[in-house]
C-alpha cells in the first residue's frame, strides 16, 4: 500500500500553513518540497563536516571530500552509470545542458551540421543550442508534435540524417507529461552516428532511469525536482566522450598544472567542476535519492500518474475546460479554461489555497504549436492526495462559476489562448 499519510509526515512544510492558510501544493514540476531527512542532512553537513574539498590536508577536509565523492557514487548508482567519473555535479539541469552545448557543441559543430530538437523542449534545451548554432553555423531542426501530444516519430525518422550530429530531447515533457521513447530515438540516432542528449529533469522524479540501458550519451537532471536541494544538478556523460571534450568553465579544482599562459586539466569528473562545488547540496541530493528510492520510483510514478489521470478526467468534464495530455502521461496536467487567462485562473486557485503554475512553462515553441499563450498546470508528487485532487477540482469549478460570462462567451465563439 502507498501510505501517503505517512509520507506527508516526512515533509515539514506540508504540516504547516506557510501563509497562514491551507496549502494544496500542486507545483511539483517546478520544484518539490523537501523531506526532513534532506533538510537535516544539509544542516548536519555544516555542523559536522564543513570544509573545502580536494584541497585541505587535514582530517575535516578529507571527511568533506569523502562525503562529496560518496554523493557522486550514489548518483552514479541512481542512474546506473558505469562509474562516478561520468557524473558531473552542476547547479541544475540547465547548467548541465549548457555544459554539453559549450564544451561539445562549440568544439564539434560546423556549418551544415544539424542539431535535432523537438517542439516540446523546455527553453533549457533550446536556448543553449541557439547560442551554439549561432557561433558554429550548425542548423537546428525540430521533431513536431502530433495532435495526440506525442512526438511524430515518422517525422523524426525523416528529419534524422547523416547531417544530424546531436539529437537533444526531453524524456518527460514538463507541460504535457508526455513520456518520450528515448531508446528508440537513441537507436536511430546512433545508427547514423549522432549523439543523444536527454533532458531528464521531469523523468527522474517519476521513474527509474538506467542510462546504460537507454544508451544515452548525455543525461541531465536537477536535484530540486526530486526532493533534493536547489543549486545542485547532474550531468551524466559517457566517460569516453567527456574525456575528449574541452573544459566548460575554468578555475580552481579543474586543473592539473597551470602556468601563466596555459594549463592542463584534471581527470574526469573534476575537469568539469571549476571552483568550490555545492558540497551540502550534493550531500542533500544523496539523501534525497535514498529517500525516493526507499519508497520506490515505480510506486511514486504510479501514484502521481493516478492522481494526474483522475484530475485530467474530471477537469475535462467541467464545461470550458480543455486538458492537454497524451493518453499515457506522467504526473502533470496542463489545462485551460475558455475565455480566462491561465494567470487569472491560478490567482483564483491560490485564493483557495491551491498552488499551481500558470504561464508558458518555459516552453514557448510548444505553446505556439498548441495555439496558446499559457496553460494552467497542476503537477503531482508522492505526498499529494485524492483530497487534494478534489480541492483542485472544486477550485476550478469555483473559477468557472466566477468567470461564467467569459467562459460562456468563449464557448459560444471559441478563440484559443
Which listed residue (166, 189, 201, 389) binds ligand C6P by CB under 6 A?
201
* Residue 361 found at the interface with ligand C6P (CB under 6 A): yes
- Which residue is associated with the grid cell 562529496? 68
**Is 362 assigned a catalytic role?**
yes
> To the nearest whole angstrom, how small is the minimum distance from the Cβ of residue 390 to ligand C6P?
23
Could you give the angle at the alpha carbon of 152 between the alpha carbons of 137 and 202, nearest 5°?
80
* Contacts (CB under 6 A) with ligand C6P, residues 92-111: 92-94
How many CB atoms are closer than 10 A to CB 320? 20
* Residue 206 found at the interface with ligand C6P (CB under 6 A): no
* Residue 362 found at the interface with ligand C6P (CB under 6 A): yes
Spell out a b/e string for 199-222, using b for 16 or more CB atoms within 10 Å of the CB, else e.
bbbbbbbbbbbebeebbbbbbbbb
* Residue 122 found at the interface with ligand C6P (CB under 6 A): yes
64, 51 contact by CB (below 8 A): yes
- Closer residue to ligand C6P, CB minimum distance, 138 or 355: 355
- Closer residue to ligand C6P, CB minimum distance, 65 or 384: 384
Q: What is the DSSP letter of 272?
A: G
**Which residues, at least 6 apart from 324, have a Cβ–Cβ distance to it below 8 Å?**
149, 175, 176, 334, 335, 336, 370, 375
CA–CA gap between residue 197 and residue 199 (Å, rounded): 7
- Closer residue to ligand C6P, CB minimum distance, 113 or 199: 199
- Closer residue to ligand C6P, CB minimum distance, 92 or 384: 92
* Residue 358 found at the interface with ligand C6P (CB under 6 A): no
- Closer residue to ligand C6P, CB minimum distance, 91 or 398: 91
Q: For the chain, what's the residue count?
A: 417
**Which residues, at least 6 apart from 3, have a Cβ–Cβ distance to it below 8 Å?**
none
> To the nearest whole angstrom, how small is the minimum distance from the Cβ of residue 265 to ligand C6P?
25
> To the nearest whole angstrom, how small is the minimum distance from the Cβ of residue 117 to ligand C6P?
12
Q: How many residues bind ligand C6P (CB under 6 A)?
A: 16
CA–CA gap between residue 110 and residue 323 (Å, rounded): 41
Which listed residue (85, 199, 273, 388) binds ligand C6P by CB under 6 A?
199
* Residue 85 found at the interface with ligand C6P (CB under 6 A): no
Which listed residue (65, 174, 178, 375) binds ligand C6P by CB under 6 A?
174
Could you give the angle at the alpha carbon of 231 between the alpha carbons of 174 and 198, nearest 5°?
40
- Burial of 240: CB neighbours in 10 Å, binned 0-12, 13-18, 19+: exposed
Of 86-94, 136-144, 235-243, 310-318, which part binds ligand C6P (CB under 6 A)? 86-94
> To the nearest whole angstrom, how small is the minimum distance from the Cβ of residue 211 to ligand C6P?
17
Which listed residue (7, 14, 26, 29) binds ligand C6P by CB under 6 A?
29
* Contacts (CB under 6 A) with ligand C6P, residues 209-248: 222
CA–CA gap between residue 174 and residue 171 (Å, rounded): 9
- Closer residue to ligand C6P, CB minimum distance, 33 or 92: 92
CA–CA gap between residue 316 and residue 415 (Å, rounded): 18
Which listed residue (13, 23, 30, 255) binds ligand C6P by CB under 6 A?
30
Catalytic site residue from 348, 362, 378, 407: 362
**Which residues, at least 6 apart from 24, have a Cβ–Cβ distance to it below 8 Å?**
352, 353, 354, 355, 388, 391, 392
Q: Residue 417: helix, strand or coil by DSSP?
A: coil
> To the nearest whole angstrom, how small is the minimum distance from the Cβ of residue 190 to ligand C6P?
23
* Residue 127 found at the interface with ligand C6P (CB under 6 A): no
Of 53-61, 73-81, 356-364, 401-409, which part binds ligand C6P (CB under 6 A)? 356-364
- Which residue is associated with the grid cell 486557485? 349
> To the nearest whole angstrom, how small is the minimum distance from the Cβ of residue 357 to ligand C6P?
5
CA–CA gap between residue 381 and residue 387 (Å, rounded): 14
* Residue 117 found at the interface with ligand C6P (CB under 6 A): no
Binding site for ligand C6P (CB under 6 A): 29-30, 92-94, 122, 124, 170, 174, 199, 201-202, 222, 357, 361-362
- Known catalytic residues are 362
Amino acid at each position: 500500500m502507498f501510505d501517503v499519510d505517512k509520507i506527508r509526515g516526512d515533509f515539514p512544510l506540508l504540516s504547516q500553513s506557510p501563509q497562514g492558510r491551507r496549502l494544496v501544493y500542486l507545483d511539483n514540476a517546478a520544484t518539490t518540497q523537501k523531506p526532513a531527512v534532506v533538510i537535516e542532512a544539509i544542516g548536519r553537513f555544516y555542523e559536522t563536516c564543513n570544509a573545502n574539498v580536494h584541497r585541505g590536508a587535514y582530517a575535516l577536509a578529507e571527511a568533506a571530500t569523502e562525503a562529496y565523492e560518496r554523493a557522486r557514487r550514489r548518483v552514479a548508482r541512481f542512474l546506473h552509470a558505469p562509474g562516478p567519473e561520468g557524473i558531473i555535479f552542476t547547479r541544475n539541469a540547465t547548467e548541465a545542458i549548457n555544459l554539453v552545448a559549450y564544451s561539445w557543441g562549440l568544439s564539434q559543430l560546423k556549418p551544415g551540421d544539424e542539431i535535432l530538437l523537438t517542439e516540446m523542449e523546455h527553453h533549457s534545451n533550446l536556448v543553449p543550442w541557439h547560442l551554439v548554432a549561432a557561433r558554429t553555423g550548425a542548423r537546428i531542426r525540430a521533431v513536431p508534435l502530433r495532435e495526440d501530444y506525442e512526438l511524430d516519430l515518422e517525422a523524426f525518422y525523416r528529419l534524422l540524417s547523416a547531417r544530424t550530429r546531436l539529437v537533444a530531447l526531453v524524456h518527460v515533457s514538463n507541460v504535457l507529461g508526455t513520456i518520450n521513447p528515448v531508446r528508440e530515438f537513441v537507436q536511430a540516432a546512433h545508427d547514423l552516428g549522432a549523439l543523444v542528449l536527454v533532458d531528464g529533469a521531469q523523468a527522474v522524479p517519476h521513474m527509474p532511469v538506467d542510462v546504460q540501458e537507454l544508451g544515452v550519451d548525455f543525461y541531465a537532471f536537477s536535484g530540486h525536482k526530486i526532493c533534493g536541494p536547489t543549486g545542485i544538478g547532474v550531468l551524466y556523460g559517457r566517460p569516453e566522450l567527456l574525456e575528449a571534450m574541452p573544459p566548460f568553465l575554468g578555475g580552481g579544482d579543474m586543473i592539473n598544472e597551470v602556468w601563466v599562459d596555459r594549463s592542463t586539466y584534471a581527470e574526469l569528473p573534476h575537469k568539469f567542476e571549476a571552483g568550490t562545488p555545492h558540497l551540502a547540496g550534493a550531500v542533500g541530493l544523496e539523501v534525497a535519492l535514498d529517500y525516493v528510492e526507499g519508497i520506490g520510483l515505480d510506486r511514486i510514478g504510479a501514484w502521481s500518474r493516478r492522481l494526474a489521470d483522475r484530475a485530467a478526467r474530471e477537469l475535462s468534464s467541467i464545461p470550458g475546460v480543455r486538458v492537454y495530455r497524451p493518453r499515457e502521461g506522467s504526473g502533470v496536467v496542463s489545462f485551460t479554461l475558455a475565455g480566462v487567462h491561465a494567470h487569472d485562473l491560478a490567482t483564483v486557485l491560490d485564493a483557495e489555497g491551491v498552488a499551481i503554475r500558470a504561464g508558458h512553462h518555459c516552453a514557448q515553441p510548444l505553446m505556439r504549436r498548441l495555439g496558446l499563450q499559457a496553460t494552467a498546470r497542476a503537477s503531482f508528487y508522492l505526498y499529494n492526495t485524492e483530497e487534494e485532487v478534489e480541492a483542485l477540482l472544486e477550485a476550478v469549478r469555483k473559477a468557472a462559476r466566477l468567470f461564467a460570462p467569459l467562459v460562456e462567451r468563449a464557448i459560444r465563439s471559441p478563440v484559443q489562448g
